[in-house]
Amino acid sequence: MEEEKTLKVQKIKNGIVIDHIPCGRALKVLKILNIEGDIGSAVSIAMHVRSRYGWKDIVKIEDRFLEEKELDKIALVAPTATVNIIKDYKVVKKHRVEVPDRIVGIVRCTNPRCITNQNEPLTPEFYVISRDPLIIKCKYCERDMESDEIVENII
Amino acid sequence: MFKGRDIVSIKELSREDIERIFEVAEDMIPIAKGEKKTDILRGYVLATLFFEPSTRTRLSFETAMQRLGGSVIGFSNPKATSISKGETLADTIRIVDLYSDVIVIRHPFEGSARLAAEFAEHPVINAGDGAGQHPTQTLLDLFTMAREFGDISGLNVALIGDLKYGRTVHSLAYILSKLGANLYLVSPPLLRMPKHIIRELNKKPVETDKLEDILGEIDVFYVTRIQKERFPDPTEYRKVAGSYRITAKLLSSAKKNAIVMHPLPRVDEISSDVDPLPHARYFQQAFNGVPVRMALLALVLGVV
Ligand SMILES: [Zn+2]
């Protein structure tokens, strides 16, 4: 049943299918992957799709594969997502994204008074305080950031 | 082992670390008073980098270094240095690190001490970074309580005043709770301690906006300033500030051996009629900054 719904979105030959994205976060996922305007490959989005666990979003991108860093970013925006790698219309690999223990260089601190926002030669870094709900702490100013703030501040 | 360690955040110190610091600080007291002389830090240079003024903290560190026979370089007016020409803090630290053996930094931006610790080879001590950590203040506060009562565990400590914005009071609450104290948070509803700070405490604190309700149970009254700017209406401010004022009359119903502390400077949170009472401990507390900072300098430089 679920497979059938998924298929409503066009099947792809090579590329990735990011499934089980929390409802409403699909466009965020595209944004952090820098997919906007003319990228030279097909992208399809399904929003508000019924699944076994309630509602979800799905993103399919043709001829695109992900780097480790991009997987970490997806984990921050869509902690429940699974990434399927498609070759010749077949899923050749499937992985759950996972928020890393240390988040380095992919999120900006929301604290305007934080030293990481002052033109110093620093890479912003955070520790994960809690995974559900997601809370991270800035290594420098020690301020906590919650899910919505994190999503808005991905570099 | 303390040699070479940075003192950036109180959260990085274990119970054993704190006990060791206090043990050394206790030995430093006669030297801090000038009754005993030493030069265990002769030949060592401390750099005090005060990117914003805090005369009391700076004098306390400089006294600590000089009482141990070391010398001090530094500035308390960054406008007179190349920093105002746009040099990064990272570069300033790299250079000062080449001139000195230990760095004390006070800076308006949060997390700046962590940056300094990363760029300096030598140990860095945080003397306050914006609204962030101020671990030496927290340590001297704890030391004052520990000297008075022997043990922090089981003490009833009331934190009074602005518990919302004062981040040093957040660090103090955290460490007191970790060491087993019972916390009483006394503040106007507008200035209550944030939930995320309370969440990190070991034990649920007593929260109230009425000092009178808990007066008889308290061992330590830790008073902080309520700033006028926090209130849109000046009459409201006067009313609120007045209801948390510590006076001799109020203390007449407190425990006999209860003490009153304040990080200073005070404005009128503690009435001057408290000064001569046996409860007053804020001047002693300010003095304790010297032996505690002496202990930290000696420990991170590895001479004790
Ligand atoms: Zn920060």
Task: Answer yes or no: do A142 and B89 touch at CB < 8 A.
Answer: no
What is the count of structural domains for chain B? 2
pLDDT(A38) > 90: no
Contact yes or no for B115 and A144 at CB 8 A: no
- Residue A25 tokens read as 């976060």
Task: Give me the residues paired with residue B71 across strands.
Answer: B45
Residue B3 lies in a domain: no
Nearest CB to A121; choose among B88, B109, B111: B88
The beta-carbon neighbor of A142 closest among B109, B112, B132 is: B132
Would residue B196 count as lying in a domain?
yes
Q: With 50 as the cut, is the pLDDT of residue A1 above it?
A: no
- Measured in angstroms, how far is the CA atom of residue B112 from the centroid of ligand 1? 10
The per-residue pLDDT for range A3-34, each reduced to its tens digit, is: 554 545 568 899 999 999 999 999 989 988 88
Answer yes or no: do B159 and B206 share one domain: yes
Same domain, B129 and B149: no
Shared domain for B126 and B140, answered yes or no, is no
Q: Mark whether B106 and B193 lie in a shared domain.
A: no
Whether residues B212 and B90 share a domain: the answer is: no
CB atoms within 10 A of CB B66: 14
* Nearest-10 crossing angle of helices B112-119, B89-99: 50
Mean predicted lDDT score pLDDT of chain A: 88
Contact B162, B170 (CB under 8 A): no
Do B84 and B145 lie in a common domain?
A: no
Residues in chain A closer than 8 A to B112 (CB atoms): 115, 140
> Is B175 at the interface with chain A, CB within 8 A?
no
Please tell me the pTM assigned to this model: 0.89
> Rounded to an integer, what distance in angstroms lies between the CA atom of residue B285 and that of residue B145?
9
**Would B2 be classed as within a structural domain?**
no
Residues B162 and B207 both lie in one domain: yes
Q: Using one digit for the tens of pLDDT, what is the confidence trace for A74-118?
A: 999 998 899 999 999 999 999 889 899 999 999 999 999 999 999
Average pLDDT of the segment spanning A54-59 = 92
* Among A148, A79, A78, A149, residue whose Cα is nearest residue A114: A149
* Same domain for B275 and B150: yes
**Domain co-membership, B277 together with B172:** yes
pLDDT for position B241: 81
Q: Say if residue B91 is in the same domain as residue B28.
A: yes
Q: Residue A142 is nearest to which of B9, B88, B107, comparing CB atoms? A: B9
Q: What is the identity of the amino acid at B230?
A: R
Tell whether the model's pLDDT for residue A2 goes beyond 70: no
**For B171, which residue in chain A has the nearest alpha carbon?**
A142
- At B64, list the tokens: 């600590």
**Helix, strand counts (H, E) of chain A:** 4, 9
Same domain flag for B129 and B139: no
* CB of B141 closer than 8 Å to CB of B155: no
Residues B142, B277: one domain? yes
- Using an 8 Å CB-CB cutoff, list chain A residues near B109: 113-115, 118
Determine the 3-state secondary structure of B107 from DSSP. strand
Q: What residue numbers bound the domain in which B112 lies?
A: 10-133+287-300
Asked if residue B142 is part of any domain, the answer here is yes
- Residue B270 placed within a domain: yes
Give the nearest chain B residue to A129 (CA atoms): B200
Residue B30 in any domain: the answer is: yes
Per-residue pLDDT of chain B (304 residues), as tens digits, is 899 999 999 999 999 999 999 999 999 999 999 999 999 999 999 999 999 989 999 999 999 999 999 999 998 877 766 666 688 999 999 999 999 999 999 999 999 999 999 999 999 999 999 877 899 999 999 999 999 999 999 999 999 999 998 778 999 999 999 999 999 999 999 899 999 899 889 999 999 999 999 999 999 999 998 888 888 888 888 888 888 999 999 999 999 999 999 999 888 899 999 999 999 999 999 999 999 999 999 999 999 9
ipTM (interface predicted TM)? 0.88
Whole-angstrom distance, CA of residue A75 vs CA of residue B156: 44
- The CA B2 to ligand 1 mean position distance, Å, reads 27
> Which of A39, A41, A53, A40 is closest to A82 using CA atoms?
A53
Is residue A37 over pLDDT 50?
yes
Q: What is the CATH number of the domain that holds B44?
A: 3.40.50.1370
- B131 near A CB under 8 A: yes
Rounded to whole angstroms, the Cα distance separating A115 from B178 reads 28
